[in-house]
Amino acid sequence: MSARTGGPEIDQLIQLLARLPGLGPRSARRATLHLIKKKDSLMSPLAAALARAVDAVKTCEICGNVDTVSPCGICADPRRKEQGLLIVVEDVADLWAMERAGIGMALYHVLGGTLSPLDGIGPEDLSIDALVKRVETGEVKEVVLAVNATVEGQTTAHYITDRLAPFGVNVTRLAHGVPVGGELDYLDEGTLSQALKARTRFGDQNT
């Protein structure tokens, strides 16, 4: 029998917070106590914001970004489409990281993860087919594979490169300013910006 830290509402709040990335049971308890202490200035506004987000947040039908409209604000910007630059990322967090880096007028495509046979994740579990269809239209001039520098990320990048080969589109990757094993969401904006500027053709072993 587990010890209770408060009423059932408090216990439930702790359990829900503990599901968030980076928050274990101890951190969830601390966060809950902080929210309770700041009930009027923090907890109530947070609850209201969450309630609004549940109804308002949508997944973009084109790129997979999250916004309050679909297509999202990025995909709806005609200036970005004119550039013909499509950056492929694993997750929405990576898309936001690239935008924070101020990389310019680019469009994005969120894969929703990486290929991982050991975890049972195959091409059909990612939005790779949707990516191929976007390139097939001929509006994309360059595809930047901004996937994480992990084994799974590079396996996914090679698979996508093979799928896009018939279309003759220029496929590049981020420069090696991104460390091996590094995740984009944890890199500073300067590193990301420089890595994009120094991108190379994917598969080039001399860079």
pLDDT in tens, 113-131: 999 999 999 999 999 999 9
3-class DSSP assignment, residue 43: helix
Domain limits, CATH 3.40.1360.10, in the chain: 66-201
Find the mean pLDDT for residues 193-203.
Answer: 65
pLDDT category at 206 given cuts 50, 70, 90 is: very low
Residue 31 has pLDDT above 70, yes or no: yes
Please, where in the chain does CATH 1.10.8.420 lie?
8-56
CATH class for domain 8-56?
A: mainly alpha
Please give the DSSP secondary-structure letter assigned to residue 2: P
4 confidence band (pLDDT: 50, 70, 90)? low
SS percent in the chain: helix, strand, coil, step 5: 50, 10, 40
**Which of 27-31, 70-74, 120-124, 190-194 comes out lowest in average pLDDT?**
190-194
- CATH for 66-201 is 3.40.1360.10
**What does the block give as tokens for 73?**
């604000």
